[in-house]
Structure 1
């Protein structure tokens, strides 16, 4: 894929969107590209569609410009999908994708199905933000754009500790730091800092976790009633599965929370022996080898049994 400037030639309207329940990489890549186009191509009308992002990302420039209502009726010249493995995960923004004259998908998920006119999928990139950086003119990247891209890289690499972190990742992060961003504050306030209720629900999830398959798998689940009791939403559950994953002796962590009647959002994390992207894909989801997710139906017991069968098979093979 050429630099983004090449694809904006002759374009008057652009829509940008990411996946449902946007995380740091999704929010960062979308806001980073949105701000870049707004700053460098002022004659182009650009709209950003995302579900409501976490409050911790509200410091990013133009986060208040995000359209979470999807009420606009418009056919765009160009639709850019970011950090989204298939068009269904665009949620309500899919209507703009389907009506757009041209579409581009920029992503790093190995499970991406290549659904746009142009698909720029770099599966060994740490994050979509890392890829977006390579598509921009470095000297035109402002401090505000750098803040958004750095935030996304930080979140998808677990502050540079996950195996998806490469020399290229660190070089790009260093160049973004060179734009004058307050990188320490970004890490502290968006990744590590938790509210009191977030700490409570994390404690509940850890306290009620159980070990399976000779201690190689750890699992924890939350019902809707638990979330109502603590007054939390899905945005408050970030980081729970990652904390489960670092349990000594565990090769795979599973965290699920109830989203509907016998419906659960499942997050999977692994160390080395389990490819969770294969498991998630089997159940209609996707992601990376060591981080993936899906939605499953049934009782908690059903979900755990179905997942553990696939995990056990991989553990035996390895």
Structure 2
């Protein structure tokens, strides 16, 4: 991360009495971990500042804690920080541009630099890892990383590294994680909470395992709205099972698509082949081996699968 950018960030944090923190829609553990970790640390530093976390909370991640109610008036003299969001259309919250100053902090490839200050580090495993680094680089030190902050950042790192199985896990990732564990965060309990699913979700996972297709080293499944209704599961909760087919011997990449009514969200994963350029051609983007795309018909999804097969080849 650039030292000049960190200095600007530090000045902005000092300057504003209201700080509103956004992240992307359909949040994952990293989005929530970085958001709530930063909020909690800022509250520790400046108890009199108004620090608010914005966005919808999926049922499956309620154990993270709640979001704040924010009014349009809150933005009038506010610093707005958007975390873990590569492009502006994915920001959760309609008023993020209404603040006095906008900062983006993210680890995705920089496609859309929507902030007045854009702090992007694609070498970080997660935005939660970045928040830990930023707290140290700003000179606040580990005194402001409380047990609660450590819990949030740990969950974010674990989520985006696939429990340290993904290739974005670096020696620095493990070093930071080891320091977070020193705060006695009871990581076993946290991991159990993050892995728990309602019985209906487990039944849905069984459906996925029985119905996905596998051709040319590529796995794929299209979840219709009828299936969501059958298992009484939301599109966001269904997407948690994106990696259900990842253990198939010989699989190189897979697509998990869910019909959300007005659009079809396709999560694309790969073990080796770079797939974010493919995702970008389908209204999406992301990391080289983990991306998302949006299509609007079954035919477009099938074309996406064909192009993924070619990419793998």
Q: TM-score, normalised by structure 1?
A: 0.90
Match of 2:181 among 141, 163, 177: 177
Contact 1:205–1:221, Cα closer than 8 Å, also in 2:
no
Match of 1:160 among 160, 164, 169: 164
User: What does 1:41-60 align with in structure 2 at a 5 Å threshold?
Assistant: 41-58=46-63, 60=64
Deviation, structure 1 residue 303: 3.0
Q: Deviations over 1:263-286 (max 9, x none)?
A: 3111111011x2121111111111
Contact 1:83–1:109, Cα closer than 8 Å, also in 2:
yes
Aligned residues: 302
* Structure-2 residue corresponding to 1:24: 29
Distance 2:236 2:183 in 1: 29
Asked if 1:294 corresponds to 2:293, the answer is: yes
Deviation, structure 1 residue 182: 0.8
User: What does 1:1-318 align with in structure 2 at a 5 Å threshold?
Assistant: 1-2=5-6, 5-58=10-63, 60=64, 63-67=65-69, 71-74=71-74, 75-91=76-92, 93-95=93-95, 97-136=96-135, 137-190=141-194, 192-212=195-215, 214=216, 216-260=217-261, 263-272=263-272, 274-299=273-298, 302-316=299-313
Q: Tell me, what secondary structure is at the counterpart of 2:243?
A: helix
Q: Tell me, what secondary structure is at the counterpart of 1:247?
A: coil
Deviation, structure 1 residue 313: 3.0
Distance 1:99 1:48 in 2: 15
Distance 1:158 1:315 in 2: 22
Distance 2:191 2:244 in 1: 17
Contact 1:35–1:145, Cα closer than 8 Å, also in 2:
yes
Contact 1:112–1:121, Cα closer than 8 Å, also in 2:
no
Q: Tell me, what secondary structure is at the counterpart of 1:254?
A: strand
Q: Deviations over 1:37-59 (max 9, x none)?
A: 1121112112111112344442x
Q: Deviations over 1:30-88 (max 9, x none)?
A: 10111111121112112111112344442x4xx22433xx6543324310000011122
Deviation, structure 1 residue 310: 2.2
Q: Tell me, what secondary structure is at the counterpart of 2:119?
A: strand
Deviation, structure 1 residue 238: 4.1
Q: Tell me, what secondary structure is at the counterpart of 2:277?
A: helix
Deviation, structure 1 residue 246: 2.2
Q: TM-score, normalised by structure 2?
A: 0.91
Q: Tell me, what secondary structure is at the counterpart of 1:260?
A: coil
Q: Mind listing any 5+ residue stretches in structure 2 that lack a counterpart?
A: 136-140
Q: Tell me, what secondary structure is at the counterpart of 1:244?
A: coil
Q: Deviations over 1:216-265 (max 9, x none)?
A: 1011121111111111112322442212122111111111111015x311
Contact 1:111–1:277, Cα closer than 8 Å, also in 2:
no
Moved over 6 A (4+): none
Contact 2:239–2:256, Cα closer than 8 Å, also in 1:
no
Contact 1:275–1:290, Cα closer than 8 Å, also in 2:
yes
